């Protein structure tokens, strides 16, 4: 098996340790008698004089072998501190803080805070002091002055200003339609004097009476309800505004001679198309008012329910408001004083007998 493990193409002398020329030279010199017989045993290949030299027959070169190159002496990578001093510290442009800009912003914030505080103080003072009326905006030379105070930005919270303004504009449109009703009723009276006369007379009455009454009966209660979160004023608005919706329905239909509407407007198209057109326009405006009235009722009722108001709260507010009324207080004081005098007289008369 050893024959199969060996390499037949290998050098037979490669694995022989005695094939080294230096060993053979040392062994030959021992056999020649130049050295002692035990030269091989005493030979030190690492001694200074026994350096391995290449042998080339009998004339071997005496030049020693070149020692292998030694690795270069390198210093470890140690960073040495620089002897130059660091540059002096200079403040960059990005690090500079503009104090003047900060002071200006601080002053603006202080002014806004002072303005807000002043407005809050004015609102608190207005709750306890009589405010000067500013509505209707009449000129100074007019013999009659303003009757109400109205300021949406002061009285109404910001969340409800839009709906209160919408009701105000709806009231103005209501007055405008009542004025157009007078003109349409006049045209109806000219075309048909037998039935148009009553309609024309009532239209003047409705314009004179309903214009201020609608402002007082359903617009001002809604304004005060959102101003002071009053359940009592909400109930007044719902009660009056529902009847206003019913009146709008009757007016837009024109069933009777109450106002002009769809029915009496369509009835005179053959007599006078121009008058019929004016009457139908007014009927269309009354229909718009009826639709807007119904939508407004639903929306205000949702807001009212979201505030947590109730009928019991409205009763309490009504009782408190009645007791705070000066006329009611004077009447109650007079009644109490009269009852006390009557009781005193009865007591005095009883003591006599």
pLDDT in tens, the chain (353 residues): 445 555 666 555 555 666 666 666 655 554 544 444 445 555 566 655 555 555 444 444 444 555 555 555 555 555 555 566 666 656 555 455 567 788 888 888 988 888 887 777 666 556 545 678 888 888 888 888 888 889 898 889 888 999 999 999 999 999 999 999 999 999 999 998 888 888 999 999 999 999 999 999 999 999 999 988 888 888 899 999 999 999 999 999 987 778 899 998 998 888 889 999 999 999 999 999 999 999 999 999 898 888 665 546 555 655 555 445 555 455 555 665 666 666 666 655 655 54
From CA 241, how far away is CA 235, in angstroms rounded? 10
Contacts (Cβ under 8 Å, ≥6 apart) of 332: none
How far is it between the farthest Cα atoms of the chain? Answer: 186
Quickly tell me which residue has 């006049």 as its tokens.
186
As separate numbers, helices (DSSP H) first and strands (DSSP E) second, the chain gives: 13, 0
Q: Alpha helices of the chain — where are they, by DSSP H?
A: 2-5, 21-31, 39-42, 99-128, 152-155, 161-191, 193-214, 220-228, 231-253, 262-267, 273-306, 311-324, 326-352
pLDDT for residue 279: 93
pLDDT for residue 57: 45
pLDDT for residue 2: 47
From CA 247, how far away is CA 251, in angstroms rounded? 6
pLDDT for residue 20: 66
pLDDT for residue 280: 94
pLDDT for residue 95: 52
């Amino acid at each position: 098996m050893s024959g199969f493990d060996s390499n037949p193409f290998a050098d037979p002398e490669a694995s022989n340790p005695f094939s080294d020329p230096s060993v053979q030279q040392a062994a030959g010199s021992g056999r020649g008698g130049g050295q002692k017989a035990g030269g091989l045993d005493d030979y030190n290949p690492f001694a200074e004089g026994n350096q391995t030299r290449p042998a080339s027959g009998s004339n071997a070169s005496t030049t020693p072998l070149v020692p292998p190159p030694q690795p270069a002496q390198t210093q470890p990578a140690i960073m040495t501190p620089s002897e130059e001093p660091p540059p002096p510290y200079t403040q960059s442009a990005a690090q500079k803080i503009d104090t003047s800009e900060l002071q200006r912003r601080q002053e603006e914030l202080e002014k806004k805070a002072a303005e807000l505080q002043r407005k809050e103080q004015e609102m608190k003072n207005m709750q306890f002091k009589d405010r000067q009326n500013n509505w209707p905006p009449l000129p100074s030379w007019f013999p009659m002055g303003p009757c109400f105070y109205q300021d949406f930005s002061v009285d109404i919270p910001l969340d409800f200003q839009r709906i209160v303004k919408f009701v105000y504009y709806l009231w103005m449109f209501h007055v405008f339609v009542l004025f157009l009703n007078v003109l349409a009723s006049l045209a109806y009276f000219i075309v048909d004097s037998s039935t148009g006369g009553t309609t024309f007379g009532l239209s003047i009455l409705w314009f004179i009476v309903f214009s201020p009454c609608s402002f007082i009966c359903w617009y001002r209660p809604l304004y005060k309800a959102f101003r002071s979160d009053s359940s009592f004023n909400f109930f007044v608005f719902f009660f009056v505004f529902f009847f206003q919706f019913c009146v709008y329905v009757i007016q837009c239909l024109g069933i009777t001679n109450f106002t002009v509407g769809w029915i009496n407007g369509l009835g005179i198209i053959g007599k006078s198309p121009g008058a019929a057109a004016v009457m139908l326009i007014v009927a269309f405006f009354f229909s718009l008012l009826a639709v807007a009235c119904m939508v407004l009722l639903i929306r205000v009722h949702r807001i009212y329910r979201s505030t947590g108001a109730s009928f019991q709260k409205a009763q309490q507010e009504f009782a408190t408001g009645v007791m705070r009324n000066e006329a009611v207080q004077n009447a109650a004081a007079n009644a109490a004083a009269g009852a006390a005098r009557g009781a005193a007289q009865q007591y005095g008369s009883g003591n006599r007998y």
